[in-house]
Each structure stands twice: as structure tokens, then as C-alpha cells.
Structure 1
Amino acid sequence: MMKLLWIHMTSELISIVYEVVTDGWLTYVEGVCVIWFTIEVMLRVIFCPDKAEFFRSALNIIDFVAIVPFYLEVALSGLSSKTAKDVLSFLRVVRFVRILRIFKLTRHFVGLRVLGHTLRASTNEFLLLIIFLALGVLIFATMIYYAERIGADPDDPTAAAHTNFKNIPIGFWWAVVTMTTLGYGDMYPETWSGMLVGALCALAGVLTIAMPVPVIVNNFGMYYSLAMAKQKLPKKRNKHIPRAPQPGSPNYCKPDALAMATASPIWQHDGY
């Protein structure tokens, strides 16, 4: 919802500034949710045995960063100074950190934990993939820029009216979406030389992505099989091991009770 903040009028210029304001009922819903999360975090802090380890956890830091901006925004909402408005604008941007709370689902879903272990174990493969893509983007963005300049109008030395590839950095976007097989179509070559470069870029992208991906898939399969095997393991049962008769008890002198108490627990399990 847009709200008119102020109008500045001069003899030659009228400036109208609008401010984005959240609907009232959404503010109440947000307040209830933040209060609930605040109570949850405070209880976890109180009952956590190791406070230092609690505050070093990345998920707990995300919880604090997601909660604090709401209270700061409420405290600064009554101020009308420019500094307060700037701080409020910054806090509204920081609120997107709340989305990161979805990573807390890793505590309840095995698949998300497997994905996290896979990403951590495949760091070298992801780095290799990024390096390959970066080299390909740099090479093909340069090639498409010069290829599209072929056949341009002599009166247009920069080829701005002839093609969308007006410079090499603009070609980076085209090279990324082409090598990753997305191909949005917002930029495309229009000359025969540019089409040749585009075909080579697409083929190189397929080969580049195909090389490290099998290693990542194998890591995922390994961790997934391990997680499924752990789930199928029988749960440990607490076995009751009788104590030996103590002096003074009624069964202290009975040989049968003494032999039963000192027998191996292996022969007492499941009726053996």
C-alpha cells in the first residue's frame, strides 16, 4: 500500500515522495508471529546447557537477526527524522533474513540433511564447475561481441543499432543463460558468425556442466543410502540387568537368585 509522505513544492519543481506501508492486519499477524518466535528463542536460551555453543550456531544467529528488526522498527516508527526513515528502510530490507528460517526444517526432514551433507562434501566439484563456467562466459561473451560486429553498418561503428551485444559485459548474461541451457531469448545473435558462436557456446555449456555433476550425484546417493540405512536400524532397547542380591536381602543366600543375577545378559535376552 502506498502512502503519500510529503509534497515539496518550489517555483519550478514539484516533488512527490511516497512511502510503502504494510496493511494493518498484516502488521498484527507479523507481530503475533514474531512474539511467538521470541518466546521460543528465549525458552531455548534459558534451557540450553551450553550458552556459548548456542550463540555460535548459525541457525540461532538467523533467529536473532530475524526477530530484532521488528522491535527496532516498532521503536523507530514514531520518529519522523530522515535518519530514522533511512534506518527503517534498511530494516525492511533486512527482514528477508526470516526466509532463512526454512533451514530449520533440516532437523525434521532427512532429505534436507542429506542435501546439506552433499553440498558440503561436493565443495571442490562446485568450485570446479564455477571456474569452468566463468572461463566459458568470458570466452564466449568476447567472441559473440566481435562476431556480431561483422556486417554492421559502417556508419554505426559501435554496432549499437545492429545488435543487442553493445559491449562485452552485456554478453556475459547471454553467455550464462546459454551455457546453462536456459536460453531466455531476450538476447540472441542475428548474424551467421554470431549463430556459430552461439552453437559452440551451447555445446560447451552442456559438456562443462556434465563433467562435475556425476560426482555430485554420487555423493548424494552415498549420503542418501547411509541415511536410509540408519533409519532401518532397529532402535536400541534399554535392557534390564538385575543387580546381585545385596547383603541383608531375603534372597541373598538363595543360590538360584545369585546365579540369575550374575548370569550374562546375552543369555537373558529374548528368552534364551
Structure 2
Amino acid sequence: MSDADNRVILNVGGIRHETYKATLKKIPATRLSRLTEALANYDPILNEYFFDRHPGVFAQILNYYRTGKLHYPTDVCGPLFEEELEFWGLDSNQVEPCCWMTYTSHRETQETLGILDRLDLDTDKLAEEDLYKKFGWEEEFLSNKLNFWQRIKPKLWALFDEPYSSMAAKIVAVVSVFFIVISILSFCLKTFPGLRVPIISNETVLIDENGSTSFVLHKHRSEPHTAFLYIECVCNSWFTFEIITRFAVTPDKREFLKSPVNIIDFIATLSFYMDMVLNQVLSEEETSYEVLEFFSIIRIMRLFKLTRHIAGLKILIHTFKASAKELLLLVFFLIVFIVVFAALIYYAERIQYNPENSFDSIPIGLWWAIVTMTTVGYGDMAPKTYAGMLVGALCALTGVLTIALPVPVIVSNFSMFYSHTQARSKLPKKRRRVLPVEAVRPKSQSAGPMGPKGPGQRGGLEGMKSGPGLLDSKLNRLGANTLQSMMSPFSVQSYFPLAMPNAAAAAPAQAAAAQASKLISGTVYG
């Protein structure tokens, strides 16, 4: 077999590639290793295989067959590269290590976009059809068969859960944020001594042995001013109305109950009513105001409700979730170094005589190590010996380096989430749909020297020499305009457009065109 017979031409996206058949056999069970002339994309006239695929990616794929190393082109998107590899029957895990990080970056991007989809950060108004589709009533909406509740429920949901859906929804969101801020301020201000009312009782005390008595005012405790109770009643009335309404109109009650923000809202609202009931049921002697006020700290967790209205808080929370591995690694190293330096400072302070030694035990040294490694430095405990000072310096330097290591990762994750959120908000919501169209496959001939059932069937250039049938079909495929441009020198009408205005006068031109066709056929087939 000659060298020319061992070559194969591949036309991929209009760019022709030529290689040896043995090269394509290097990777078995792939599309290129199973090429035969019986395939529909084989062109016997040009003796090439045509593939309507990305030519830039195919250059790297063909190089993989030649060298055995698969590199990732940097000017191609990752999902497109994966689709091309899947079409050619190759495994994406064969990408070289030098290109692996660049190649897999699109997977992280897709995961990030998936998280942003679940966060529901869209600030655009939902179309009415999409709104009813969310509740599963799209067909009823299109056929206009909705009852009153089905019409009003999606609108109420959008009013309380989609702040950007309408002006009324924005007003509801502002009112909700207002009551959250007022509730938190009330919770904080009622602990201020100047805003608390002392509970005083008049007690009689014995002054001397003669039985003389006197009255003394005794302060038992202090309670918040009555105004704070009214403020909390108004705020919690709104919170109760809001959570009941949102639960009634939510499209998925199970997902509503699983939401952490809704759980916090429910517990905080419930704690207010439990506080009211216990104050009414229990007597003053049985009531422990300190315990009740401690449990009311749950209400401050309502700050997390602001994540429903502020997209940046959602991004920040999920940034910490995405950086959980780095944060756990930070905590692990901090615990290890804290224990090590607590033990070192304990023994370092005992080496020298030190009457002012504050490190009586290793557990006390743990507190000093935490304060030193986090660079807080309260100053309540400090080493007095030279060995202890050396340990303290090493502890501070280690803390700075340990805490600084995961910070860039967290900042990078936040920047990635935020940049994708900004880019996603600027994307057009409606795009032109691309319809999948199958390639037109040529009809098989049942007879003839070039047909699949013909006795004289041959492939390649040999089949082309057996007769003019394939060339005729090729010329027909080129179209009448191309054929006319090829024969334009023989067209009499193009040179004498005014001499032959009728069909009879055009007969010599048609005869000249026929002779030209015979000359071309004789040249090709001869």
C-alpha cells in the first residue's frame, strides 16, 4: 500500500486535516478509529470525511492521536470542550496535568451558578405566566380556568416573598425591615439602666432592742419600661401576620418549614408569646425574670431575616459555607498551636524564679494562648521571664501566620460569588431559541455502478472513474447558479443581450452551452 493510500483527509468545520489511518487507530473504540467509506459524511469526489464540529478543538484532538497528550485550548469554553470530547468518543479525564486546573475551572463556575439559582437573587419581575407556573397552574392560567383563590394566591406570594415584583411588594419589604430594626432596637434599649423601672417594696425593720421600727425601701429587681411592651406587641403582631400569610400562600410548604430563616422567625415569635403567658400564669415569686430574659435573646436572631431582602448577606453566608473546609482547617491548626503554646508558657514561667507567675496551670495558659494568637492581647496575663517572653513572641507570630492563610480563600470565594451575581443580573432573561436540525443524509442508490448494490461497486477515486454519475450529482448539488457561472464564457446572451430577444434567437446559445458541457465531461472522464 502506497503512502497516499494510507492517508485520510478530515474536513472539520471547513478546515481540512490530513493524517495517516494508522494514527487514528492508536486510540480504539473512538469515532475516528471506525472511519469507513460507507459513512454518510464521506465525500468520494473530494475523498474526505466531513464533520460539522468545532475546528479549533479538533486540532487538539488530532494532536492527541499523534502525540498521546490531550491539551485544553484556552480560547474554548469548558462545556464546549466536553461536548466535543464526547462526540469524538474521548475521555475528559485524559487532559494533561498542566491544563487540568484551567479545564476544570468551568465546573466550579457551574456549581457557583447552581448555588446562585438556589439563592433566588433575581431582582427582575416575574412574568405572569411564570408566576402561575411556579404554583403548577400554568395550564389553568392559559385556559382561563382559575378560581378566586388560585388567582389571588400567587399574587399574595409575590407581595410578601418577591420584593421586586411590584411597588406594593417593595412597600411590604420596607415595612418588614422597619419592624425588624425596631424590634432589635427595643430588645437592646430595654437593658439600659436608665430605661428600666425598679421594683421597690416598703419593708419594716427593727432599729433597736426597745422595739423601735422604721420603714426601708428595698429594691428587688428592675423591669423594662412599659413602653417596650407595647412596642414588642406591635412588632410581633406584624411578624405573626407575616409568617402566617407567607405559610398560607407558599407554593411548597415543606420547603418553607425547612428554611432556617423561617425557623428562626417562628421560634422568635413563639418566644414572645411564651414570655407573655408565663408572666401571666406564674406568680411574682415563681417567675425568674433573668431566665425569661435570657431566652428572649432568641429574638435578636431576627437579624438573619434581613437576608431575605439583602442579597449581599445571602452571598456572605454562602461564602462561609463554600469556605467551610478552609475554616475547619484554620480551627484545627489554632487548637493544635493553642495547646502547644499553653504547655510551653506554663513550663517556661517555672524555669526561673518568678513570684508574680500568673500561669498556675495549663488550662489558664490556654486562655492566654487564645488571646495572643488572635492578636487581641487583653493584658491580664503576661510572661515575666525571658523564656516566657520568647514563647509569647513565637505564639503571636504563629497566630498571625495561621489566621492569615485562609483569609485570601474566603475573600476569593466572596469575590467569585459577587462577580457571578453581578454578571448574572445583567444577562438577558429571554434568548433566541436554537432549534435542533438533523443533517440531511444522501439517498442511497439501488442500482448502477456507484450504488451500494451495484456489481461494480468501488470506493474513492476508483468509483469516480467508473462513470459520470457521481460527478453529475455533484454538479447538481452545486446548483444552477454555480453551473451558469462556470459556463458564462459560452453564454451568447451574456455578450449579445439585445441581439436575441426571443426564444428562437436563443437557440444558438443553447447549442454552444451543450457543446461546452460535453467538452467539460470529456476532459474530466477522459
Q: Please, what TM-score do these two structures have when normalized by structure 1?
A: 0.74
Please tell me whether the aligned partners of residues 69 and 91 of structure 1 are also in contact (alpha carbons under 8 angstroms).
Answer: no
Contact in 2 for aligned 1:76/1:84 (Cα 8 Å): no
2:257 pairs with 1:63 = no
2:320 paired with 1:119: yes
- CA shift, 1:35, in A, is 1.0
The match for 2:410 among 212, 216, 226 is: 216
**Cross-structure match for 1:103:** 304
What secondary structure is seen at the aligned counterpart in 2 of 1:223?
helix
Distance in 2 separating the partners of 1:171 and 1:41? 48
Q: TM-score, normalised by structure 2?
A: 0.40
CA deviation map 1:18-69 (0-9, x unaligned): 3341111111111111111111111112212322222221111111111112
**SS at the partner of 1:77?**
helix
Cα distance in 1, alignment partners of residues 379 and 366 from structure 2 = 14
User: With CA pairs under 8 Å and 6+ residues apart, which has the higher RCO, 1 or 2?
Assistant: 1
Contact 1:174 1:187 survives alignment (8 Å): yes
- The 1:79/1:108 distance shift into structure 2, 3 A limit, reads closer
Q: Please report how far the alpha carbon of residue 212 of structure 1 lies from its aligned counterpart in structure 2 after TM superposition.
A: 2.3
Deviation at 1:5, TM superposition (A): 7.5
Of the two, which has the highest radius of gyration?
2
Secondary structure of the residue aligned to 2:234 is: helix
* Aligned equivalent of 1:165: 359
Contact residue 177 and residue 184 of structure 1 kept, 8 A: yes
8 Å contact from structure 1 (residues 110, 227) kept in 2: no
Partner Cα distance (2:303, 2:295) in 1 = 16
Is 1:203 aligned with 2:400? no
Task: Tell me, yes or no, if structure 1 residue 51 matches structure 2 residue 247.
Answer: no
Asked whether the 8 Å contact 2:343–2:365 carries over to 1, the reply is: yes
Whole-Å separation in 2 of the counterparts to 1:84 and 1:235: 61
Structure 2 CA distance, aligned partners of 1:141 and 1:111? 39
How many angstroms apart in 1 are the aligned matches of 2:344 and 2:262? 48
Work out the CA distance in 1 between the residues paired with 2:297 and 2:202.
27
Q: Report the counterpart of residue 25 of structure 1 in structure 2.
A: 227
Tell me which residue corresponds to 1:13. Answer: none
Q: Among residues 324, 345, 351, which one is paired with 1:150 in the alignment?
A: 351
**Cα distance, 1:236–1:104 mapped onto 2, change above 3 Å:** farther
Instruction: Return the alpha-carbon distance in structure 1 between the equivalents of residues 229 and 255 of structure 2.
Output: 33
The aligned residue for residue 211 of structure 2 is none
- After the TM superposition, which of the residue ranges 93-102 and 127-136 deviates more from structure 2? 93-102
The answer to whether the 8 A contact 1:148-1:193 is kept is: yes
Q: Which amino acid aligns with 2:262?
A: N
* Cα deviation digits, residues 93-144 of structure 1 (max 9, x gap): 1221222222222222232122112111111111000000001110111111
- Contact kept in structure 1, 2:198 and 2:219, CA below 8 Å: no
- Decide whether the 8 Å contact of 2:236 with 2:272 is kept in 1: yes
Give per-residue Cα distances to partners, 1:196-243, cap 9 Å, x unaligned: 000000111112112222222221221121111112223549xxxxxx
Q: How many residues align?
A: 226
Structure number with higher helix proportion: 1
Cα 1:193/1:70, change in 2 over 3 Å: same
| Contact residue 5 and residue 19 of structure 1 kept, 8 A | no
Q: Secondary structure at the match of 1:68?
A: helix
C-alpha deviation, 1:91, in angstroms: 3.4
Q: Equivalent residue for 2:337?
A: 136
* Structure 1 residues 119 and 5, CA gap change in structure 2 (3 angstroms): farther
Aligned to 2:239: 37
Separation in 2 of the partners of 1:83 and 1:72?
18
1:189-268 equivalence runs, <5 A? 189-236=383-430
- 1:82 Cα deviation from its structure 2 partner: 7.9
Deviation of residue 89 (structure 1)?
4.2
Q: 1:165 to 1:2 in 2, by over 3 A?
A: farther
Structure 1 counterpart SS, 2:382: coil
Name the stretch that deviates more: 183-192 or 197-206. Answer: 183-192
Identity, % of aligned pairs? 50
8 Å CA contact 1:6, 1:18 repeated in 2: no
User: Per the alignment, in what secondary structure is the counterpart of residue 97 of structure 1?
Assistant: helix
Distance 1:5 1:80 in 2: 19
Q: Which runs of 5+ in 2 are unaligned?
A: 1-196, 206-217, 432-526
Aligned residue for 2:199? 3
Question: What is the alpha-carbon distance in structure 1 between the residues aligned to residue 322 and residue 229 of structure 2?
Answer: 42
CA distance in 1: counterparts of 2:250 and 2:275, whole angstroms? 29
Letter in 2 for 1:53: E
1:207 and 1:233 mapped to 2: Cα distance? 41
Please state how far the C-alpha of 1:181 moved relative to its aligned partner: 1.6
